[in-house]
Amino acid sequence: MPTQQSDKLFTGSIPEIYEKYLVPLIFEHYAQDLATRVVEKPVSRVLEIAAGTGVVTRAMADVLGAGVSIVATDLNQAMLDYGASVRDDKNVEWQEANAMALPFEDNSFDAVVCQFGVMFFPDRIKAYSESLRVLKPGGRFIFNVWDKIEENDFAYAVTESLAKVFPENPPLFLPRTPHGYSNTGEIALELRKGGFTFSPGFETISTRSIASDPAIPAIAYCQGTPLRNEIESRDDSLLELATETATEAIVERYGTGIVDGKIQGHVVSLIA
């Protein structure tokens, strides 16, 4: 599915809400998983693209140790600034960079890592070719993508609920972009077009998304992702109503108090 310009905007209060609500809700488990995969083989320099507020960056810093250099990049400076403020790791360098035009020399990293970011790239094939270019021969490209939205309970509930608020033009950011790149055949084909000659490995990982209150997933998705831009572009006075409607949908399906929903994604790994 094509992305829209608003799908790539993480600005204003979005980084803070993203880090407070969305990171523990859906990202932490997968961040630990990616970090564990990176440490399976010796590395001295690692590049992270689309690092966001740094949940994977911090996980890698914990398991790789201070002797490994980590360069965390993102196109959105606001996300990087927030990530750098969370924790001061001396071996982590934060740098604004476009994944489709990486400002690094050829063969300069042992691994390139990306958590749930490739779906946002306007030209994924170019981004893949850039990752290949900066990898050392035998280096690894490890990333993950969300599975289709029907396999991700809270995202699905939020998306369906917003059709009540905007019946004529419902916001479809979640199925279009974060959950719009789940076909493993398409991913493998685009990696080949990007220059990778080894076949990628795919592993589907399901886990649970748990929140202490049903409002948390609603706030996380409606106010902590570019879905907010899509809601506000329709009517900026309806953000709170959209969040409340999403909360009601989660209560209806998953109850009050602690709520527990399925999340599922694919981990992709291959050798340069």
Instruction: List, in sequence order, the alpha helices (H) in 87-176.
Output: 124-134, 153-165, 173-176
Percent above pLDDT 90 for the chain: 91
Model pLDDT, residue 37: 98
pLDDT of 188 over the 60 cut: yes
> What average pLDDT does this structure show over 93-111?
98
Structure tokens at 42: 């010796």
Residue 262 pLDDT level (bands cut at 50, 70, 90): very high
Predicted pLDDT at 112: 98
Residue closest to 70 by CA, chosen among 95, 52, 87: 95
Number of domains comprising the chain: 1
**Domain ranges, residue 153:** 5-271
Find the mean pLDDT for residues 160-173. 97
What pLDDT score was predicted for residue 8? Answer: 35
Tokens of 155: 């995202």
Question: pLDDT confidence of 60, banded at 50, 70, 90?
Answer: very high
pTM: 0.93
Question: Could you tell me the pLDDT band of residue 192, with boundaries at 50, 70 and 90?
Answer: very high
CATH number where 59 lies = 3.40.50.150
Q: Does the pLDDT value for residue 26 go beyond 50?
A: yes
Who contacts 162 (Cβ-Cβ below 8 Å, separation ≥6)?
170, 171, 222, 231, 242, 245, 246
* Integer Rg of the chain from CA: 18
Q: d(Cα 57, Cα 89) in Å, to the nearest integer?
A: 9
Report whether pLDDT(9) > 50.
no
How would residue 6 be classed by pLDDT, with cut points 50, 70 and 90?
very low
Sorting pLDDT into bands at 50, 70 and 90, what band is 17?
A: confident
pLDDT of amino acid 124: 98
Phi, psi of 229 (to 5 degrees): -60, -40
Reduced to 3 states (helix: H, G, I; strand: E, B; else coil), residue 96 is strand
Q: Give me the phi and psi of 211, to 5 degrees please.
A: -135, 150
pLDDT band for position 71 (50/70/90)?
Answer: very high
Query: Tokens 């980590």 — which residue?
Result: 70
At residue 174 the predicted structure's pLDDT band, cuts being 50, 70 and 90, is very high
Confidence of residue 105 (pLDDT cuts 50, 70, 90): very high
Mean pLDDT, the chain, integer:
94
The lowest-confidence range among 8-17, 25-34, 102-111 is 8-17
